[in-house]
A = this chain, B = another copy of it.
Amino acid sequence: MTTQKGSSQPAESDPPPNTTRHRPTTMREVAEAAAVSVATVSLVVNNKKDARIGADTRKRVRDAIRVLGYRPNALAKNLVSGSSRFIGLVADAIATTPFAGQIIRGAQDEAWKHGYVLLIANTEGNEPAEKEAISMMLEHKVRGILYSTWYHRVAQVPAALNETDFVLVNCFARDSDAWAVVPDEVQGGRAATEILIRHGHRRIAFLNTTTPSPARDGRLQGYREALESAGIPFDPNLVFDAYPDQEGGYAAVEGLVQCGVTAVFCHNDRVAMGVYDGLRQVGMSIPEDIAVVGFDNQEVIAAHLRPPLSTVALPHYRLGAAGVRLLLGLDEAPGNGVLRIVCPVVERDSVSTRQEKAPANM
């Protein structure tokens, strides 16, 4: 990290802007420096293994490329090979959520590993923008397209995607055999509930979202499965609907307190943050009076609540990486085309403080 002391303002220098741009080195200049033909340079640059060029000549060309700082034209290379080293990534909301960034990072790291570059387009869910983005990618002869959404949902697959290979990331298509990579919501819901069961809780509320979604259905199913495995009967009165943000969590606290639970699994970390505020309001402590588990492991929230929130992370980085691996044929899709990625548990202090308290001396 670059830091600085004193004045933060850049030097107020004279006008002339960034006009010192170097002229790029040409293939001809490389050829002259290496005393070979332009055709020979081209063969070396394009790594034609079968071209009859001596090791000596090859080395001379490589040295000249290095010394002169020659950059081969990737566009020309792509044109010769008939396809590009691009993978397209269409995202519906890079801007409004930190989650999309992790999908991009996972996809990019995996793409680079295999010599591909991402062409990213952010559409903000706008249909004309989406159409334009996919056209742009097809015109650039992408190897394929990842079509991603910022929250796990059913997607309407744009028709133009069928013109290339594609993988849906964080979404899936109904009545279609399109490949998709999604978080395993059922396993995540089960894992969240199991944290609470493991700490001795048996009366556990679930604040589920009001928004119909795979997350809503899957996490509820996971909650029920965890209870069942632990021999705890499912009580529908302990499942509450809460709008999936802080205000929703806050509003649900009254119901929580009335039904006398000792623990609550919140649909997401924002809801948990609202529950924190509501419990404080009525003088209840976390985890002593009520243990809380969230979902998402949201960067700026989860670790910074008081106490820090135990939660289940959405595996966005892995979703992006797995999407690229499916697209490039490095991994196989399961039979039904939908690959589910595990949501890992992140334990902090909202279920029990890390140093177990001595039960006397309280």
Q: Residues of A at under 8 Å CB distance from B?
A: 1-18, 20-22, 24, 69, 71-76, 78-79, 84, 94-98, 100-102, 104-105, 108, 112, 117-122, 124-125, 129, 132, 135-136, 138-141, 153-156, 162-167, 172-180, 185, 211-218, 245-247, 250, 270, 273-274, 277, 280, 298-301, 304-306, 317, 333, 335-338
Contacts and interface: CB of A to CB of B under 8 A. Distances in A.
B94 A4 contact: no
A277 B301 CA distance: 13
A247 to B, nearest CB: 7
Given A6-B217, A94-B105, A97-B101, 6 more contacts: A71-B138, A74-B140, A75-B75, A95-B102, A98-B98, A104-B122
Chain A contact residues, majority secondary structure: loop
A107 B358 CA distance: 56
B179 A18 contact: yes
B177 A18 contact: yes
Contacts of A124: 105
A250 to B, nearest CB: 7
A304 B246 CA distance: 6
B213 A8 contact: yes
B164 A21 contact: yes
Contact of A24 (B117, B163, B216, B298): B163
Nearest to A104: B94
Contacts of A153: 1-4
A270 B21 contact: no
Counting every copy of the chain, the complex holds: 2
Contacts of A166: 18
Given A95-B102, A121-B108, A76 B79 contact: yes
Given A14-B177, A165-B21, A214-B8, A245 B71 contact: no
Contact of A95 (B101, B129, B185): B101
Contact of A15 (B3, B122, B246, B335): B335
Contacts of A7: 217
A301 B154 CA distance: 28
A85 to B, nearest CB: 9
Nearest to A277: B306
B10 A336 contact: yes
A155 to B, nearest CB: 7
Contacts of A299: 96-97
Given A218-B8, A300-B270, A2 B105 contact: no
Contacts of A213: 3-4, 8
11 contacts: A2-B156, A3-B213, A9-B214, A11-B174, A15-B177, A18-B162, A21-B163, A76-B79, A98-B101, A246-B304, A273-B304
A13 to B, nearest CB: 5
B75 A79 contact: yes
Across chains A and B, which 8 residue pairs bring their CB atoms closest together, nearest first? A8-B214, A74-B139, A246-B304, A8-B217, A95-B105, A95-B101, A98-B98, A94-B101
Contacts of A108: 121-122
Nearest to A167: B18
A135 B78 CA distance: 16
B71 A75 contact: no
Nearest to A317: B95
Contacts of A277: 306
